[in-house]
Structure 1
């Protein structure tokens, strides 16, 4: 296992978050700064970019991952002015922080575009343009296409683009679009004479990447497999090992031995009314979290808040909603912890466990460790909010720990996991049931079944799981009528509410988990509401609340719930 990176902040007008990977073995002279993609592509490629930094460090290089101003863990938002200038300035600040000596940039996608823009004004030793957006206009056009496929854009048309381009939960304002469109690497002259590698995907013609390499005198060009596999849903993504190894080997070939020094990051940073501090905690300090707290000591202690993400995404959440929530709550006097659970992003898996498992056996222990961190004095109470698998962890922690006095569950899919749990979650069962009902009327589906091309074992497994769930739900409803109290999930919520725990559930009305939740709660929902359950429906099928028109009012509602 690679040693963990050091996380902290670059000094400057507004602190910028960075992760530093110290070299191991014989030190090489070039210090590398990694420029990740923006937005959803940054989430998709997170593991691969981290892997590249680890591999460079293992080969003797200093390696730094930078979160551009207003992205990731850095202060600011997409709506701030002068985004492109701020992003390139973030890279320049990392270059300056490394001091005298050779520096190289590796940029992926729009990160390559930004790296090329920096290379126009800074004499770099080396430059890797990895599946580059050769012009900003190409990138913004791609984001327009992505945005046009969102449910709201399909429904409302151009009205959905009033703020700019909303793509994958991120915003490119009209000003940002114009600034990106002004960058064209085919017309950019680099300062000095950096050694250049242009690396393209191998699953389609190289198009503009090869033209760019041909234009740059002496540039190396290669097409390497793995891009399509790394740029997919994080739960299904596979690190681009071949691409990482090609970059590492090229970096070794253009460097020599020599150590010009590494990077010292500030352990915490303050901006406006809040302070942020990355922290290692839990067993063997395995877990990484970021604490957001009031910049000045609060006159009155307020309930701390733990935010748990869902799936294989970093502690920021898919669209940085958790960063916004943490900032808003800290401004009101709360200490807020966002964290990567074991096996996700910056937190390595527990011993013997596999990475990228949102429901790993260590999940509940991780949540309890976070609760204890926030309540270091051993007393007090805490609020928890979780999305999907994070909702499961919040629910289970509240059942077991009376220090948890408030839980907010966003699009929960499962509430109980144990040995012997069905292979299919109730959400999967609900989704599959709908699919198979439609298939009954499909001649093609019957032909597939009768010719032996259908996965009969899978269908049988689903049928058994669905039957078991239906029987258990019916049994719980009968027991509820006989005993006059809710059973199953409704019973758990009833007991939490009776204990004085504030419970809120938020569901997207077309989320895949909605029908499964209603199958368990519909008979008792009104009673639970009368006991204090807050139940909120948001429009659309938006599991991670990427749509701005949904997310912005939801954040206001969540702040009110968590602060009350």
Structure 2
């Protein structure tokens, strides 16, 4: 395939539609030309961060008229679990995606676009398929390099409430709630792209710093290799809250991918129905939904119809896509379905696979997001769902509390590590989130570590800066206590009054906190410092999960959360 400078006009806008194929969930546009593009995302936390910019890239490629398919690997996102946590399973999935484009879009030319580990996997998949073009975005030349980088990331992502790194479970590397077990680590360690004996594609675009000599190696093997820098890589994969689309890189990739692609005369793109082939597993069945103002969600049902049971509505934690931190929401939803409970995991507008909010506004700590929750409840009503329980973590817990106080259709709420119950409109959301860990407990936790004391002795830690930070923190605590005296009271009265109102109407409210979580300050401020007093107000004790981070990254913490939710559902019948 020759990549020329001409391309299909970008005014042909073809929306992506959700599809399922061979147990994999994806987004597809059949295109109007001969060229098909498969997007191979990266893995785990990096893909959680890159989810929305990656979707933007897929949409823009589809707008060029190329058939486009972006999908979740087995065991990731909304895909099934067959072949999960296996390099072989992931590579096989890429090849199935290629065949899907050939069969369903009649694609004659295939281009793979892979991000980070996805680039590594795309290169492996291309060794056993006829691939015409390959875009590798900051790939790992070897699996060992990938594992080393993930080990470094694990020390900074998902820290404990005192600021210390999250303890690792024996034999498992956990990065942002995603786990790499010994079997997967062994498979990854065996990857070495520099040892390829033939070029994976005749035309290759390498974006990012050259690692492992891949460019010269592929050139020696006969490929035409183009290299470009990757400005904006860190902002793309480092944090879901602040992920940004690297516009320069995206534009360059689209130009390269679409160059020389021509439409087929008379071809008209026919989009598949949104739920043509639901994904099924042991005891569960899932289908994608659009409701309200195009809000997206995944409905997870029990495979066998049973008596009318309570259902669950999951809302986003921060800007994490609906599958959740470490994919825990998908796992929890399917576990509930096996016990006969239907659930809907949704993306608020501005998150995941839902459209932007007006003006690109953030959904975090915004009461405007209640409209999306109401749209979800409207849809659940059309399905004759039983009593609905809303579940949210962090900012999602704030939204869940606001929703259950306003919506009589909600019969219960499970709040996990809420930072606050009411948001002060005078506070800047971005500033609060960025500085939330900069507190006295964080500094104290660091100073308890021997390495910190040695750095202090060498003069590497600025004591004055710490003192100023602690002073500011102390002032902030005083200000926080005084400020409510001068603010208008929230609708419905104080938090304690609203909790009492919920109990009078028969709604259940259960709170879960990690031991030492920063949100406990708001709990004590609003419902009392004594566990007994808090329990009297709530009607039940708060569940404390010791040894867990804010996001409940460990399997043990997630298991405990599942137990608490199931107990709440049993109380509702």
Counterpart check, 1:545 vs 2:547:
no
- 1:482 is aligned to none
- 1:268 is aligned to 278
Counterpart check, 1:58 vs 2:78:
no
Give the distance between the partners of 1:339 and 1:442, measured in 2 at CA.
Answer: 44
**How many aligned positions are there?**
529
Contact persistence 1:121–1:190 (CA under 8 A): no
Give the distance between the partners of 2:443 and 2:191, measured in 1 at CA.
Answer: 51
Give the distance between the partners of 1:428 and 1:115, measured in 2 at CA.
Answer: 35
Counterpart check, 1:335 vs 2:346:
no
Which runs of no fewer than 5 residues in structure 1 stay unpaired?
480-485
- 1:282 is aligned to 292
Contact persistence 2:284–2:334 (CA under 8 A): yes
After the TM superposition, which residues 105-504 of structure 1 pair with which residues of structure 2 at under 5 Å, given as runs?
Answer: 105-147=112-154, 160-190=168-198, 193-201=201-209, 208=213, 210-212=215-217, 214-217=219-222, 218-253=224-259, 255-258=261-264, 264=272, 266-283=276-293, 286-298=294-306, 300-350=307-357, 352-376=358-382, 380-417=386-423, 434=440, 444-445=464-465, 469-471=480-482, 488-504=494-510
Contact persistence 1:124–1:193 (CA under 8 A): yes
Give the distance between the partners of 1:329 and 1:367, measured in 2 at CA.
Answer: 20
Structure 1 residue 167, shift from structure 2 partner = 2.1
Structure 1 residue 161, shift from structure 2 partner = 4.0
Give the distance between the partners of 1:496 and 1:427, measured in 2 at CA.
Answer: 29
- 2:45 is aligned to 40
Q: What per-residue deviation string (whole Å, max 9, x for no partner) do you get for residues 292-347 of structure 1?
A: 0011222x110111011211110011211111111111111111000000111211
Q: 1:42 to 1:82 in 2, by over 3 A?
A: closer
**Aligned-residue CA RMSD in angstroms?**
3.8
- 2:110 is aligned to 103
Which runs of no fewer than 5 residues in structure 2 stay unpaired?
1-10, 445-460
Q: 1:382 to 1:103 in 2, by over 3 A?
A: same
Contact persistence 2:134–2:201 (CA under 8 A): no
Contact persistence 1:310–1:387 (CA under 8 A): yes
Structure 1 residue 53, shift from structure 2 partner = 0.7
Contact persistence 1:62–1:262 (CA under 8 A): no
Higher relative contact order (CA 8 A, sep 6+): 2
Structure 1 residue 389, shift from structure 2 partner = 1.8
Structure 1 residue 3, shift from structure 2 partner = 6.6
Pick which of 46-55 and 527-536 moved more.
527-536
TM-score (norm 2): 0.82
Give the distance between the partners of 1:494 and 1:428, measured in 2 at CA.
Answer: 33
Contact persistence 2:313–2:389 (CA under 8 A): yes
Give the distance between the partners of 1:338 and 1:157, measured in 2 at CA.
Answer: 29
Structure 1 residue 395, shift from structure 2 partner = 0.9
Q: What per-residue deviation string (whole Å, max 9, x for no partner) do you get for residues 504-532 of structure 1?
A: 11111232322233232234642341352
Give the distance between the partners of 1:91 and 1:176, measured in 2 at CA.
Answer: 17
Counterpart check, 1:7 vs 2:18:
yes
Give the distance between the partners of 2:312 and 2:542, measured in 1 at CA.
Answer: 20
| Consecutive aligned runs of 4 or more in structure 1 exceeding 4 Å deviation | 1-4, 148-152, 154-159, 190-193, 205-216, 259-265, 377-380, 418-433, 435-438, 462-468, 472-476
After the TM superposition, which residues 528-539 of structure 1 pair with which residues of structure 2 at under 5 Å, given as runs?
Answer: 528-530=534-536, 532-539=539-546
Structure 1 residue 427, shift from structure 2 partner = 8.6
Give the distance between the partners of 1:426 and 1:60, measured in 2 at CA.
Answer: 42
Q: 1:182 to 1:244 in 2, by over 3 A?
A: same
Q: 1:435 to 1:527 in 2, by over 3 A?
A: closer
SS in 2 for 1:339: strand
Give the distance between the partners of 2:321 and 2:466, measured in 1 at CA.
Answer: 42
